[in-house]
Amino acid sequence: MNDPFTNLKSSMKKSIFQDFSFSNERKNAVKESIRMRQSQSQFHSWKIETIIAILESVQHESKDGYNISTQLFQKNERTFQKNEGQLYSLLHLLENKEILTSKWINKKKYYSLNSKGKKYLATYKQDKSKLELSLKHLLEEASL
């Protein structure tokens, strides 16, 4: 893939910016700041209880996003009300972290718990504080 800023970078190197550079320390500080903002904005929008409610909704049978949303609404979980796209972002994230699996059936994507997801759910029922730390770490890592 071509870098769309090639010409801009080239002309900046030939102008007043030719001797301008950031130290590695400054570059790392900027990267860390960006990572923290992304982590906070993405992670803090979801509560652990919301994630558990999603895992519980697909615990016994595969469901598509609409049915998961409906079940969450019936449980008074209103996190995704008026912002259903965020549910799909979270489902995709959980799928990428191999907590959920999915399959396409009749143009719908159905989600189900895999063994790792079942383990998270069982851990939550036994020791909520341990799982909360684990899920927070997982989501922070995924939001990078």
pLDDT recorded at residue 44:
46
Tens digits of per-residue pLDDT, 2-54? 666 677 767 766 776 666 677 888 878 877 777 766 554 454 457 778 888 99
Tens digits of per-residue pLDDT, 60-107? 999 999 999 999 999 888 888 888 888 998 898 889 888 999 999 999
Domain ranges of the chain: 47-142
**C-beta of residue 91 within 8 angstroms of C-beta of residue 112:** no
Instruction: Read off φ and ψ for residue 81, nearest 5 degrees.
Output: -65, 130
Residue reference for tokens 């960006």:
34
Q: Could you write out the DSSP letters of every residue in 56-79?
A: HHTSSS-EEHHHHHHHHHHTT--T
pLDDT recorded at residue 144:
46
Q: Could you give the 3-state DSSP secondary structure of residue 54?
A: helix
Q: Residue 108 pairs with which residues in a beta bridge?
A: 105
pLDDT recorded at residue 91:
92
pLDDT recorded at residue 84:
83
Q: Given pLDDT bands bounded at 50, 70 and 90, which one contains residue 117?
A: confident
| Sheet-wide strand order for 63-64 | 63-64, 108-113, 100-105
Write down the pTM of the prediction. Answer: 0.61
**C-beta of residue 116 within 8 angstroms of C-beta of residue 99:** yes
| Domain 47-142, architecture per CATH | Orthogonal Bundle (1.10)
Summarize the confidence of residues 114-139 as an average pLDDT.
Answer: 74
| Percent of the chain predicted with pLDDT > 90 | 23
